[in-house]
């Protein structure tokens, strides 16, 4: 079945799309050359006509996770689309262990795959669980994971929810800031930008809490992360933040 999907994807590949993906991703993961609309079309046709829809629920999940073993970026994006657009309602808290194992196995190891997986699968699982917080707590606990990309996921999974702050559930802001306080200690670029992205969205609802976080942790943040957090803030607010950042980094 996996081979059949790969055949469908290859039939939709173009040199133009391959060049676009390669430029965008700077070669960190190879691409067949299929645009996102084509990946989605291939996935749904494959699911309906090539056998996956007839599998038992547990086997459907196993098949979806197997797609991440593909060598190409489209293969991994196909796995994300299956989980989000076909199997989301079948995913439950116990499945988080296997989803997290994708990082341990090195099957999610670039920012494009990671962020699509976070926004389309993990974040949607959290949102579906609201106002309960079990899924959110389990994903936030990934902040201590050995994999950079799983630690990034502990932040990026929440960016679409962060602008609602405490409306998500009581203690949401505290959980986000606790998670950022751990992940910000990593100097890797994509750990830092994950923190910056989450805090930028959280500041929409919890500006004072985010400013307090900056005051405490600014010395550990990259300039890129600070720029991301303050992107929507007025100059009168972001100016002093950058000046303090320059001073603390100099020290």
pLDDT-wise least confident of 26-35, 138-147, 192-201? 26-35
Tell me which of 1.25.10.90, 3.40.710.10, 3.20.20.70, 1.10.10.10 is the CATH number of domain 133-251. Answer: 1.25.10.90
Of the candidates 87, 166, 168, 111, the one whose C-alpha atom is nearest the C-alpha of residue 135 is 168
pLDDT (tens digit per residue) in 44-87: 999 999 999 999 999 999 999 999 999 999 999 999 999 999 99
Q: What is the pTM of this model?
A: 0.94
Query: What is the residue whose two structure tokens read 């293969």?
Result: 75
For residue 229, is pLDDT > 80? yes
- Residues 31-48: what's their mean pLDDT? 96
Instruction: Collect all residues with Cβ–Cβ distance below 8 Å to 153 and sequence separation of at least 6.
Output: 103, 108, 114, 117, 118, 122, 139, 142, 194
Distances (CA, A) of 247 to 83, 130, 218, 251: 46, 41, 10, 6
For residue 8, is pLDDT > 90? yes
Of the candidates 174, 201, 186, the one whose C-alpha atom is nearest the C-alpha of residue 150 is 186
For residue 251, is pLDDT > 80? no
- Residues 236-241: what's their mean pLDDT? 94
Instruction: Collect all residues with Cβ–Cβ distance below 8 Å to 170 and sequence separation of at least 6.
Output: none
Domain extents in the chain: 133-251
Count Cα neighbours of 232 within 13 Å in the Cβ-side half-sphere: 13
pLDDT for res 186? 95
């Amino acid at each position: 079945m996996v081979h059949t999907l790969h055949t469908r994807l290859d039939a939709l590949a173009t040199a133009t799309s391959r060049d676009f993906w390669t430029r965008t991703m700077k070669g960190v993961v190879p691409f067949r050359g299929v645009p996102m609309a084509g990946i989605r079309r291939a996935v749904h046709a494959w699911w309906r006509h090539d056998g996956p829809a007839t599998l038992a629920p547990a086997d459907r999940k196993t098949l979806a996770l197997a797609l991440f073993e593909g060598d190409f970026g489209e293969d991994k994006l196909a796995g994300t689309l299956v989980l989000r657009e076909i199997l989301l309602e079948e995913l439950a808290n116990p499945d988080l262990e296997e989803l997290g194992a994708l990082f341990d196995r090195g099957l999610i190891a670039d920012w494009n795959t990671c962020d699509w997986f976070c926004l389309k699968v993990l974040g949607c699982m959290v949102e579906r669980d609201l106002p309960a917080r079990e899924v959110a707590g389990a994903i936030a606990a990934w902040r201590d994971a050995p994999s950079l990309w799983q630690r990034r996921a502990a932040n990026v999974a929440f960016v679409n929810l962060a602008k609602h702050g405490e409306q998500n559930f009581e203690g949401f802001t505290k959980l986000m800031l606790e998670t950022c306080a751990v992940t910000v200690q990593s100097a890797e670029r994509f750990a830092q930008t994950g923190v910056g992205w989450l805090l930028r969205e959280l500041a929409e609802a919890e500006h004072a809490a985010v400013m307090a976080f900056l005051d405490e942790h600014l010395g550990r943040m990259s300039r890129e992360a600070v720029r991301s957090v303050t992107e929507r803030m007025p100059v009168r607010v972001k100016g002093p933040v950058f000046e303090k950042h320059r001073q603390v980094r100099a020290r």
